[in-house]
């Protein structure tokens, strides 16, 4: 073999161009390429030791004697590593339909269980609603200014009964009463609905400046018209007031 000729061919081999893809090499091997492409692959093979070697080994892969006994020392290591990779992630799990056991309990037990379930759900909803209400009631309310119930009798006989309006959304309202006439140690207060139905009766004591303080919950009273009667210790009427609780 001439080294000089071989060296001269190095220059030709340097122009081999890019390697064909494995698919193309395989297609060339199978005679599946167009003549023009086939010639270009052959030119590349003549100049490229790597691709020529690969293509020669394609037939080797079909030969049981190709590399017989080769790499046997590492065979089981490779297999175990493969098993780990394919066993954990690759093998699709068999699809087994879930068989539900048939209900064997009598129908009345099923009905009872359903009722209990409905009752439990209902109870839970009611408790939740109560909790909501409680939360609402216990929430801190902004200060509401007191309402001064002026005296109607001080304005003379025949003057209309003093009337006051408050919204039902107010949870607690303080009224300041300044009754006309001689000062007393204590007064009776009566609250009733406009139809005469009594709601509350109690005693009020004047403070140092002789005014009375009455606390009410319009929210608890509900919307409607109410009358507040102020009486002396003997039950003699002193003042009347009309209170309107309106829906917000």
Alpha-helical (H) ranges within 48-180 are 49-61, 75-85, 107-138
**Residue 105 CB, nearest distance to other proteins (Å)?**
37
Contacts to other proteins by CB under 8 A: 1-2, 4-14, 19, 22-23, 25-26, 29-31, 39, 42-43, 45-47, 49, 52-64, 66-72, 74-75, 77-79, 81-83, 85-87, 90-92, 94
Q: Which is nearer to other proteins, 45 or 231 (CB)?
A: 45
How far apart are CB 118 and other proteins at their closest, in Å? 45
Shortest Å, Cβ 37 to other proteins: 14
String of DSSP letters for 49-62: HHHHHHHHHHHHHT
Q: Which is nearer to other proteins, 87 or 146 (CB)?
A: 87
Residue 65's SS3 state is coil
Residue number, 59 or 233, with CB nearest to other proteins: 59
CB nearer other proteins, residue 54 or residue 144: 54
In Å, the largest CA–CA distance within the chain is 146
Q: Strand, helix or coil at 234?
A: coil
Tokens of 22: 């494995």
CB of 99 to other proteins, least distance (A): 19
Nearer to other proteins, 56 or 118 (CB): 56
Other CB atoms within 10 A of residue 47 CB? 17
Beta strands in 134-248 (DSSP E): 147-149, 163-167, 173-177, 187-193, 198-204, 212-216, 224-231, 237-246
d(CA 86, CA 92): 10
Distance (Å, rounded) from C-alpha 222 to C-alpha 166?
11
Q: Smallest distance, Å, CB 17 to other proteins?
A: 14
Nearer to other proteins, 79 or 200 (CB): 79
Least separation in angstroms between residue 33's CB and other proteins is 11
């Amino acid at each position: 073999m001439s080294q000089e000729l071989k060296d001269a061919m190095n220059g030709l081999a340097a122009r081999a161009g890019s390697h064909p893809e494995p698919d193309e090499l395989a297609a060339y091997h199978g005679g599946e390429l167009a003549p023009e492409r086939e010639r270009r692959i052959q030119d590349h093979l003549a100049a490229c030791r790597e691709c020529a070697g690969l293509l020669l080994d394609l037939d080797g892969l079909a030969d049981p004697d190709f590399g017989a006994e080769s790499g046997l020392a590492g065979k089981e290591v490779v297999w175990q590593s493969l098993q780990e990779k394919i066993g954990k992630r690759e093998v699709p799990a068999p699809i087994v339909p879930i068989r539900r056991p048939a209900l064997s309990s009598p129908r009345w037990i099923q009905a009872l269980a359903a009722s209990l379930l409905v009752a439990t759900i209902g109870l839970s909803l009611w408790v939740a609603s109560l909790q909501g209400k409680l939360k609402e009631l216990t929430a801190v309310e902004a200060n509401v200014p007191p309402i001064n119930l002026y005296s109607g009798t001080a304005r003379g006989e025949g003057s209309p009964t003093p009337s006051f309006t408050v919204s039902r959304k107010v949870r607690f309202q303080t009224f300041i009463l300044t009754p006309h006439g001689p000062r007393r140690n204590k007064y009776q207060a009566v609250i009733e609905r406009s139809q005469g139905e009594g709601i509350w009766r109690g005693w009020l004591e004047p403070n140092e400046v002789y005014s009375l303080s009455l606390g009410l919950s319009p929210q608890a009273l509900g919307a409607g018209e109410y009358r507040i009667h102020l009486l002396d210790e003997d039950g003699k009427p002193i003042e009347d007031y009309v209170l309107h609780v309106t829906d917000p």
